[in-house]
């Protein structure tokens, strides 16, 4: 008996669980039918999706894909398929009921904390990583319809990816494996690049980036023609990030809960997912790593190497005119010490927290790139870019790193100088060659 045959449920049992598909038990509407809540003595609370026969053509394909995938692939962050029924022309899917509904509905509630949002996103990312890389079959799965309404939440607010009807199986789990198929998905979430050819796992990454911004803003994505107070567009999210104006989109109560390092890591990850060029987007494995960092920053308790108050925020409150020497180093928050410098490129001070080195903001991203190549026990390399404790790095190494790491502008200038140098060397070589020929 195949794994799917073991999941067959008699129609009579489903009718009993739903009181004969009573309208009072309808809890949602899927792409090709209604979803009912039911109760079974054997299986407990159920969510039952019944295919509307009006959509039998495409719906049957989705029904078959859902049964095939969920009967073979199991993960704590995927919905649990309890069974299915194909009797009397019916096409019914039976899932474990997730009492906290879908993420899109939960985001409308202001009491969904930042910590809870981080854990939800991390869980969903792990589920998607599993589909892309960890099925154990050597194959990968591209979901093709990642959106907040397809992320369900169990009684403990654990994320469960659902709705696999549009999914495609690829023969390898490589992020570059391409599937050529008819473009589909949900407008607002769908990767615009699918219009120009096949799709890869990075199409899911793009859609997940949209979900991350929905979680951050507490608003749902929409298209420009439908824009309202409770919605945003992908272009808006990108522009608010690029102009450092995310606070205008984040609910003040939610923002007050966020540790700055957590917010920056989370928002940077979301922004990278939406990169226009597919090669510039991270894999889901990288997304999981970054969200784990964002969660770890939020969880850090007060103690050596980390403090509760952000010096940058304190400077802003003080009008950004107060001297940095007026603040004790214990007020530094890891990764948030973006202090304007007067003169030199670096500064360091000592306290019971150890020696902390402040880094020029313009150099921070390049230092991050350098640090990413260094194997250290740091939870976050970016933390070291702006506030580095000598218990992690040798003081001389830190000083050298800060001193010699170029800014973006200096890197661009260096590139120009190198081009001129190569042109000069080519000219010099050609001149020498001509002179040698004349001598002969």
**Residues labelled as active-site residues:** 145
Backbone angles phi, psi at 215, to 5 degrees: -65, -40
* Dist. CA 434–CA 106, nearest whole Å: 75
Let me know: does 337 contact 312? Beta carbons within 8 Å: yes
| Cβ-Cβ contacts under 8 Å for 141 (sequence gap 6 or more) | 69, 73, 131, 132, 135, 164, 167, 168, 169, 170
Axis crossing angle, helix 260-273 with helix 201-217, rounded to the nearest 10: 140
Residue with tokens 């100088």: 417
206 contact partners, CB below 8 Å, separation of at least 6? 190, 191, 193, 273, 274, 281
Asked if residue 49 belongs to a known ligand binding site, the reply is yes
Q: Are 131 and 73 in contact (CB under 8 A)?
A: yes
Q: CB–CB of 98/79 below 8 Å?
A: yes
Tell me if 106 sits within 8 A of 153, measured CB to CB.
Answer: yes
Q: Which residues are known binding-site members for ATP?
A: 49
Q: Which residues are known binding-site members?
A: 49
């Amino acid at each position: 008996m195949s794994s799917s045959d073991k999941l067959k449920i008699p129609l009579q049992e489903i009718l009993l669980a739903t009181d004969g598909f009573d309208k009072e038990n309808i809890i949602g509407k899927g792409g090709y039918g209604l979803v009912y809540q039911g109760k079974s003595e054997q299986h407990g609370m159920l969510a039952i999706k019944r295919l509307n026969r009006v959509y039998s053509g495409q719906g049957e394909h989705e029904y078959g894909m859902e049964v095939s995938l969920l009967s073979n692939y199991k993960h704590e962050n995927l919905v649990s398929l309890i069974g299915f029924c194909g009797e009397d022309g019916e096409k019914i899917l039976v899932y474990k009921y997730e009492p906290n509904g879908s993420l899109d509905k939960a985001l409308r509630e202001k009491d969904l904390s930042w910590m809870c949002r981080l854990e939800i996103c991390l869980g969903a990312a792990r589920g998607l990583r599993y589909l892309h890389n960890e099925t154990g079959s050597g194959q990968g799965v591209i979901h093709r319809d990642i959106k907040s309404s397809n992320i369900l939440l169990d009684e403990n607010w654990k994320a469960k990816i659902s709705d696999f009807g549009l999914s495609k199986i690829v023969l390898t789990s490589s992020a570059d494996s391409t599937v050529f198929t008819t473009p589909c998905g949900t407008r607002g979430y769908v990767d615009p690049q699918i219009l120009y050819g096949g799709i890869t796992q990075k199409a899911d990454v793009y859609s997940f980036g949209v979900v991350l911004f929905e979680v951050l803003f507490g608003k749902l994505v929409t298209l420009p023609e439908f824009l309202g107070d409770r919605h945003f567009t992908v272009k808006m999210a990108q522009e608010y990030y690029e102009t450092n104006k995310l606070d205008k989109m984040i609910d003040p109560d939610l923002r007050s809960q966020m540790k700055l390092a957590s917010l920056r890591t989370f928002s940077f990850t979301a922004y990278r997912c939406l990169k226009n060029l597919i090669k510039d987007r991270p894999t889901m494995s990288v997304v999981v790593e970054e969200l784990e960092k964002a969660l770890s920053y939020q969880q850090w308790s007060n103690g050596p190497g980390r403090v509760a108050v952000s010096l940058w925020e304190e400077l802003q409150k003080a009008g950004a005119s107060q001297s940095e020497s007026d603040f004790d180093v214990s007020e530094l928050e890891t990764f948030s010490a973006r202090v304007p410098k007067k003169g030199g490129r670096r500064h360091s001070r000592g306290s019971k927290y150890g020696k902390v080195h402040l880094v020029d903001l313009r150099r921070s991203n390049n230092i991050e790139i350098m640090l990413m190549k260094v194997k250290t026990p740091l939870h976050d390399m970016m933390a070291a870019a702006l506030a580095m404790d000598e218990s992690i790095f040798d003081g001389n190494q830190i000083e050298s790193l800060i001193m010699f790491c170029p800014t973006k502008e200096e890197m661009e200038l260096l590139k120009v100088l190198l081009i001129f140098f190569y042109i000069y060397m080519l000219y010099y070589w050609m001149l020498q060659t001509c002179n040698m020929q004349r001598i002969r």
